[in-house]
A = this chain, B = another copy of it.
Amino acid sequence: MNSRLESTYSQLKQRGLDSLLVSLPANISYLTESLSRDSYLLVSEKGNIYFTDSRYTEEAGSFLKDNAKLKECNGPVFKCIAQAGLELGLKRMGFEERHLAFAEFAKIKEYSKGSFELMPTHGIIEDKRQVKDKQEIAKLKKATRITALALRHIRKFLKPGIKEVEVAAELERFIRYQGARASAFDIIVASGHNSSQPHHLSGPRKLKDKESVLIDFGVDFQGYKSDLTRVFFLGKIKVLVRKVYDIVLSAQELAIKRIRPGAEMAEIDRVAREYIAAKGYAGYFTHNLGHGFGLEVHEDPRISAREASALKPGMTFTVEPGIYLPGKFGIRIEDMVLVTRKGCEVLSGSINK
C-alpha cells in the first residue's frame, strides 16, 4: 500500500474516525496514484475499498494494485458504501462535507440503518496535497514544459485579424500533440479592452495592431495542471500599457523574492499589493495573488491577504498580480513556483518573459 494511504490512517485516528469516505475525484486520484473516474473511495485500516461501475472496472483493476479492494457496484452506489461500512464493522465514518451532496449523505445515512455515524470533515486529503512529492513535481514540470512549448508556438501564430477563439483553438490542438490530455481550464485569450475583465471568455474579437493580448492557459498532463499567463504585444506598445506592464512585473518579482519556507502567505500577497498601490493602482488589483495547483488547477494554498499560514517546502502555487483598467486593458503576469528548502524555484521562469 502506498504511503499516502498509510499516513491517512493516523490522521483519521487523531480525529476519532475509523474511516473516511473520499468523494472528490482529485483526492481519489491522489490516494490511488491514478486517474480515477466516477468512483468513491473508502479509506479504513480495516480495508480500503474502491467503488465504481462496470464501465471502469477493467481500468481500475489495472491501477489499484494493493491500495484498495475493487468493488463493482452497478446498483445504487450509496447502498454499496453503506453495506461495506456494515461488513467492515465501522462505527465513525468521516465524509468530505464540501464534496458530498446533501442527498448522497442522506442516502448513505438511510442505508446504514444507524450502524455507523457519518461525521463531516474537510481538508484532510487537500491538506496533504499542498506539499508535492518528487513524482508530482516531475509531472508538474512536464506540464509546464508543454505550456512553454505552446506559448512559444503561439507567439508566431498571433497577428492582427486572427480571432481570440482561433488562438484558443490552435493552443488546444498543439498541446495534445505534445502529450497533454487537454487544457486545464477554459483558455482565456483576451485582446485589447477584453483584457480588462480578469475572467473574459475567448470570443470572436479579432486581434489588432498596437494592442496587447493576454493569454491565460494551462495543460493537464497525467492529471497534473499548469496555469500560466502572458501578455503579448502586437506592434508598437502604447506608453501606458508598457508602464502598467512594468509595474505588474516588478510587483511579481518583489513577491517571488519573499517566498521561502516559513514565510506567511499574506506577506507574499501584501508585498505585491502594496507595490501596486504605491504606484497609484490601488483598487485595480482585484483578486488574490495566487493559488495552489496540482491535481486541481485551483487548490490550497490560497495566497491571499487573509491567509496567515506559513509556506512549506514542496508547495506549488501561482504568483499572478494584475492591474485591470475597466474598458481599457488589463495586464496579468502569472508564474508557477515551487517552494524549495531555501527559497523558491520559478518553474515557469524562462517562458516568454
Contact = CB atoms under 8 A, between A and B. Distances in A.
Interface of A: 37, 54-56, 58-59, 95, 97-106, 120, 122, 165-166, 168-170, 172-174, 176-177, 179, 181-182, 186, 197-199, 201, 204, 286-287
Contact of A101 (B59, B102, B181): B102
A98, A168, A182, A197 — most chain B CB neighbours (10 Å): A182
Nearest to A74: B286
Contacts of A177: 165-166, 169
A54, A97, A198 — most chain B CB neighbours (10 Å): A97
A54 B284 CA distance: 12
A104, A172, A176 — most chain B CB neighbours (10 Å): A176
B55 A198 contact: yes
Nearest to A165: B176
Contacts of A102: 95, 97-98, 100-102, 105, 120
Contacts of A174: 169
Contacts of A181: 201
A198 B38 CA distance: 14
B199 A56 contact: yes
A101 B101 contact: yes
Contact of A172 (B172, B179, B204): B172
A176 B168 contact: yes
8 contacts: A97-B102, A98-B104, A100-B101, A106-B120, A169-B174, A170-B173, A172-B172, A172-B176
A101 B103 CA distance: 9
A169 B99 CA distance: 31
A98 B101 contact: yes
Contacts of A169: 172-174, 176-177
